[in-house]
């Protein structure tokens, strides 16, 4: 588990590169313990290319140490989501991460305001 301060969480929410997605279950944030290095980035790029070659429209955007995943057809149908979690959870990744859907991220931020 990666723990964020309220300000860090607010930054993650503000930096969402998919703000126009109306369904919060289609956007996910994977907060890493540190920004991805070149090796992890290359693996993510390969996973995105493989997913696109299969005709999926899923996307990953990296902002600092957060991976934003957009799954227009749903997380459960996403080859990219499965690949992303395998890559990030691998002991060879050199980092750890916590994944949450966008509804949860915004709810956590709202709870911090109380």
- How does pLDDT run across 82-94, given as a tens digit for each residue? 999 888 877 776 7
- Number of structural domains found in the chain: 1
For residue 65, the enclosing domain spans 6-113
The domain spanning residue 85 has which CATH number? 3.30.70
pLDDT band at 111 (very low <50, low <70, confident <90, very high): very high
What is the mean pLDDT of the segment spanning 51-64?
94
Three-state SS for 38-69 is HHHHHHHHHHHHHHHHCCCCCEEEEECCEEEE
Structural domain includes residue 35: yes
Structural domain includes residue 1: no
pLDDT value, residue 60: 96
Structural domain includes residue 42: yes
What is the mean pLDDT of the segment spanning 30-44?
91
């Amino acid at each position: 588990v990666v723990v964020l301060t309220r300000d860090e969480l607010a930054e993650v929410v503000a930096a969402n590169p998919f703000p126009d997605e109306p369904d919060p279950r289609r956007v996910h944030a994977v907060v890493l313990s540190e920004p991805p290095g070149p090796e992890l980035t290359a693996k993510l790029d390969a996973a995105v290319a493989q997913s696109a070659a299969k005709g999926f429209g899923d996307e990953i955007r990296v902002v600092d140490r957060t991976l934003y995943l957009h799954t227009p057809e749903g997380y459960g149908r996403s080859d990219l989501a499965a690949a992303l979690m395998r890559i990030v959870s691998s002991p060879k990744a050199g980092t750890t991460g916590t994944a949450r859907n966008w509804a949860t991220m915004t709810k956590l931020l709202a709870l911090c305001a109380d």
